[in-house]
Amino acid sequence: METTLIILKPDAVQRGLMGRIISRFEEKGLQIVGAKMTKISQELAAKHYKDHQGKPFYDGLVKFMTSSPVLVLAVRGVGAITISRNLMGATFGSKAAAGTIRGDFGVSNSFNLIHGSDSPEAAERELGLFFAQGEVQSFDRPGDAWVYDMSGGKAE
């Protein structure tokens, strides 16, 4: 099982899309194992977006991400990172395919509703930025027997 960080950005929160977006992950079979509404500080934004420092869009990105509350999620499942990124769609809403979160709810190339970790290493680092020890839960869901085929001894 992989756990990934998902951030519902200020535009998703302000537009009242949180429930609809979370439903996409749950309907796919992924498990929400952590959730927290927070307002990202300048310091946290700088840590989270450190790889983008110095790029032309950095200042605007930090201003946007610190402008309003966000909802941070820890999402778990087999292949959760790839599945989540596929659910999100292309970075820019104007280019995202219908059926994806950005494709269905976004048109802006600046406000793109959602962030998801892009690798296991990024997920581990990002989860550590937003969740303290003990805030990401582990619990069994009986319904997982209908999400994953376990007949071969491992989740498929």
48 is catalytic: no
- Identify the bridge partners of residue 76 per DSSP, sorted by sequence position: 3, 31
95-105 per-position pLDDT tens digit: 999 999 999 99
| Domain range 2-133, its CATH number among 3.90.550.10, 3.30.70.141, 2.30.33.40, 3.60.20.10 | 3.30.70.141
Decide: pTM greater than 0.75.
yes
Q: What is the pLDDT of residues 75-90, one digit of tens each?
A: 999 999 999 999 999 9
Spans of all domains in the chain = 2-133
What stretches of the chain show up as alpha helix (H) in DSSP?
A: 10-14, 18-28, 42-48, 58-65, 80-88, 101-105, 120-130
Catalytic residue among 115, 123, 130, 136: 115
